[in-house]
């Protein structure tokens, strides 16, 4: 038996470690990934903050955060992200901010973006961005309330 081989303390420690690992591992439903497993569809999330525009990342400047692959235009952006990834990742896992405010998950379009309060928000298309822009504080409040409920749920199950 496992208990006899390792003793009660070791078995208890192993069980607690496994529970902890499950609790802290990233939920694959909370980050919007494209077909290649890329976050932000391969765009450099740091460029929004440093250049004020979307910029496609390059495969040679990639890193992984929360089980998602992020690409960057250069090594400096990758290093900035690695130091403080939470500063740069899009809100709501890169899903459409307006959609999340409505309790839904739609792909975020890297071309439809806005930085508000030092945070990056994406929307599914220009129409959604226009609606979201009409009441950004209200939509953020709604989305912030919805995200804990819908974040772990696969997008297809929210339809």
Judged by DSSP in three states, 157 sits in helix
pLDDT of residue 28: 57
Convert the pLDDT of each residue in 13-36 to its tens digit.
333 333 333 333 345 579 999 988
Residue with tokens 């910029």: 55
- Answer for the pair 90, 38: CB distance below 8 angstroms, yes or no: no
Mean pLDDT on 6-14: 41
Burial per residue of 41-76, b for 16 or more beta-carbon CB atoms within 10 angstroms, e otherwise = bbbbbbbbbeeeebbebeeebeeebbebbbbbbbee
Mean pLDDT on 124-150: 97
Q: What is the pTM of this model?
A: 0.82
Q: What is the largest CA-CA distance in the chain?
A: 65
Structure tokens at 113: 């973006």
Average pLDDT of the residues of the chain = 86
């Amino acid at each position: 038996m496992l208990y006899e081989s390792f003793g009660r303390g070791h078995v208890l420690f192993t069980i607690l470690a496994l529970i902890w690992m499950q609790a802290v591992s990233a939920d694959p439903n909370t980050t919007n990934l494209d077909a290649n497993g890329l976050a932000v569809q391969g765009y450099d999330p740091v460029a929004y903050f440093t250049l004020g525009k979307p910029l496609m990342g390059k495969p040679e400047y990639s890193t992984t955060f929360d089980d998602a692959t992020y690409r960057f235009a250069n090594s400096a952006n990758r290093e900035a992200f690695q130091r403080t990834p939470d500063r740069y990742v899009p809100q709501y896992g890169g899903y459409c901010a307006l959609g999340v405010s409505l309790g839904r998950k739609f792909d975020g379009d890297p071309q439809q973006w806005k930085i508000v309060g030092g945070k990056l928000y994406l929307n599914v298309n220009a129409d959604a961005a226009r609606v979201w822009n009409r009441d950004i504080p209200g939509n953020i409040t709604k989305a912030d309330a919805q995200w804990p409920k819908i974040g772990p749920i696969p997008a297809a199950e929210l339809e």
